[in-house]
Amino acid sequence: METPKETRERPTPGGPQDFIRETVARDLASGRHRTVVTRFPPEPNGYLHIGHAKAICLNFGVAKEFRGRCHLRFDDTNPSKEEQEYVDSIQEDIRWLGWDWGGHLYFASDYFGQLYAWAEDLVRAGKAYVCDLSADEVRAYRGTLTEPGRPSPYRGRGADENLDLLRRMKAGEFPDGSRTLRARIDMAHPNLNMRDPVLYRILRATHHRTGDEWCIYPMYDYAHGQSDAIEGITHSICTLEFEAHRPLYEWFIENLPVPHKPHQYEFARLNLTYTVMSKRKLLDLVQNGYVSGWDDPRMPTLAGYRRRGYTPEAIRAFATKVGVSKANSTVDVAYLEECLRDDLNKRAPRRMAVLRPLKVVLENYPEGKVEEMDLVNNPEDASAGTRKAPFSKVLYIERDDFMEDPPKKFFRLSPGREVRLRGAYFITCTGVEKDAAGEVAALRCTVDLHTRGGSSPDGRSPKATLHWVSSGHAVEAEVRLYDRLFKAENPDKAPEGQDYKVNLNPDSLVALAGCKLEPSLAVCKAGDTVQFERLGYFCCDRDSAPGRPVFNRTVTLKDTWAKIQRRGK
């Protein structure tokens, strides 16, 4: 089967109705189905990532649009890799995205009894047999894309012998891996998935729901379609890599007495630049300490995005704009960030924070005087109103906003230059204090007291407006500057002999202590997102303590990576 050529694209909003929705509409109009029933079927062996968000929005979205229902079903057929923690996190993520399965929560393990009974049916019908080949031998016998497979030496066993062996497998008489139950289909089939696939393997592992009740477990390909059939799924929507599995999906449906005959439809999975979405690789990053956990804000997991400050609205908008197609493509991660900026720009309150503080002393401002400056909470939302910010003789500004010997196009503060302080006054630098190492330690400035509010009666207008925080009122905080976890556009491409981790970005996290925030930020709660004026969007982290907040950078105000790439060219 030819794999569609992958393309690189930047999606645009709108576009034609996708083929999944067209199919559903046609099936309902023709009377093929009276209602639409979809399902989202995650394996509970890791946390959900941004690729799953696209599938979630598709399955739940289609069901909602056509007034049907969407089931949440955990395909929990591999207890050696599955945990209750993953089950809980998956449910939390789906609810956070804004979707609800109602009373339709299911597990493949709910159907273990029925699946086993149907396996016996296949044995009795001569369509399945017990095989003693090892896993490596099964692979060797399967053949290649150009050569047919060889039949197992045990393929000729009779139904009675196979049934006896299967029941003894179930009873725990044989060691792990010593025998499997395989479908008897066609060892010369051009599709390798049809060459006598394994249905059951012996595996002594405690299941998170059934405990030690079973020592044989169904394979995903066997359990998945039959679970769909039991639940009455009308449209089994999955990603494109399962297209080659569809003949096997249909073979089981046709050869078992299932109560319903669902159909499988495939769409292209989401691929993002600068991102890996393999569960195996994400687990590797977590287990080997490259990140702090599944919810590390650099991870592409929904838990990581949530902790970083992403909104469910932005992710749903992204999933909609990316669209659904049959062609593999790679979406620029900058498009996801753009969707987030669009959303946060409308909702995030503005606040002032100085991340790398430089002290400013206003020499002509009265000692001990404190004024309350009125600042707009969100210029995009008039209903957000204003807030008060204290202003005093000693302030902090960003160290990057001052240069002692500035280049031609530097318009911020320098000796003799006037700038505007946001919502406050014009100030002019009159002197520089340095420490023993010769580094700038403080600035001496004068303030024009006739420019309160940021405008001058004589009409002059400085070219730069700086944010600031009053020294005596500042809240000290830690700010974590998160960036992309990988420095390579395609992290999976690595030099020969090295793996994807060689592309990890060493600057993906920079933690800054001693940052100065305006006092209104002292009461932020974990999950609160704000815009630090001129710096970006930031989210209050769960590590915050009373009076000592911790903020994570959610996203910069502009796509700084694009600038870096242009500069490199």
DSSP string covering 462-509: -S-EE--EEGGGPEEEEEEEE--SBSSSSTT---TT--GGGGB-TTSE
DSSP H or E run through 443 = strand 440-448
The two tokens of residue 325 are 């197609």
Residues 127, 150, 279, 534: which is the catalytic one? Answer: 279
| Separation between Cα atoms, residue 501 and residue 349, nearest integer Å | 37
| Separation between Cα atoms, residue 70 and residue 55, nearest integer Å | 12
| Separation between Cα atoms, residue 529 and residue 308, nearest integer Å | 9
Looking only at the bridges linking them, the beta strands covering 509-517 and 475-482 are antiparallel
The two tokens of residue 478 are 């830690």
Active site residue 231: no
For residue 514, how many other CB atoms are within 10 A of its CB?
A: 13
Half-sphere exposure of 468 (CA within 13 A, CB side): 31
| Separation between Cα atoms, residue 36 and residue 28, nearest integer Å | 8
Instruction: Specify whether the CB–CB gap between 396 and 516 falls below 8 A.
Output: yes
Rg of the chain over CA atoms, in angstroms?
30
Residues 269, 422, 487, 534: which is the catalytic one? Answer: 269
Half-sphere exposure of 280 (CA within 13 A, CB side): 3
| Separation between Cα atoms, residue 294 and residue 303, nearest integer Å | 7
Active site residue 359: no
Active site residue 269: yes
Read off the amino acid at residue 400: D
Residues 39, 43, 157, 337: which is the catalytic one? Answer: 43
| Separation between Cα atoms, residue 229 and residue 41, nearest integer Å | 13
Question: Which residues are catalytic, by number?
Answer: 43, 269, 279
